[in-house]
Amino acid sequence: MKELMERIENDGHVLGEGVLKVDSFVTHQVDPVLMEKIGKQFAACFADRQITKVVTIEASGIAPALFAAQHLGVPMVFARKSKSLTMNEELLTADVYSFTKQTTSTISISRKFLSAEDNVLIVDDFLANGQAAKGLIELCRQAGAHVDGIGIVIEKSFQDGRQLLEEMGLKVVSLARIDSLSDGKVTFLKEDA
Ligand code: G4P
């Protein structure tokens, strides 16, 4: 997605150790106009797939997932990273290891919001090592739901996430694919859409 890549070039900042800061339009302050276009693009890519739910993980996955869900005309469900006070029903849970933070967290979705009838599109803002996506796939598996594909806003192609997901037989659609962040410079691979 050309507009997204231009925005990354103009407003993204490369931090040390392969990290891209996009907090002025994706991960902290959010640009709703760009996000809406991102959601629309995901919806177009999966328009003929009979998606019944878009699933993501809080916090930064919510904005692109919500717009994708709006354009597909289906609900969006986000996995929580900590248990909500009102979550007293049965939960689907999975452990997610973060290589970045070197911590494991338990993510959860209420069983009532995912079922064996669901055909799921997973959406997230970043794909690095793929552990968050793997956790979301596990929640879907526990519910008996089918994962149809994965929509990623920014893929760090120099990390293992995409390979991991493709080895699971999943279709990955990334709107920006970063080849390298070396020397403080962003270089891209050909994007999926
Ligand atoms: P993984 O899920 O692909 O394995 O990623 P990893 O453990 O490496 O990353 C953990 C968190 O860091 C995730 O967000 C992920 O989206 C984010 N992240 C990974 N690489 C980058 C990067 O280069 N830039 C930015 N800005 N974020 C990155 P999170 O901690 O769950 O954050 P949030 O969604 O709650 O804000």
How many angstroms does the Cα of residue 159 sit away from the middle of ligand 1?
12
Whether residue 130 has its Cβ less than 6 Å from ligand 1: yes
Domains of the chain, by residue range, sit at 2-189
pLDDT in tens, the chain (193 residues): 999 999 999 999 999 779 999 999 999 999 999 999 999 999 999 999 999 999 999 999 999 999 999 999 999 999 999 877 676 789 999 999 988 889 999 999 999 999 999 999 999 999 999 999 999 999 999 999 999 999 999 999 999 999 999 999 999 999 999 999 999 999 999 999 9
Helix (H) or strand (E) holding 25: none
d(CA 187, CA 99): 23
- C-alpha 138 – ligand 1 centre gap (Å): 18
Determine if ligand 1 sits within 6 Å of the CB of residue 15: no
Name which CATH class applies to 2-189. alpha beta
Q: Are strands 146-156 and 171-180 parallel, antiparallel or unpaired?
A: parallel
Distance (Å, whole) CA 66 – CA 39: 7
Ligand 1 mean position, distance from CA 126 (Å): 6
Specify the pTM.
0.96
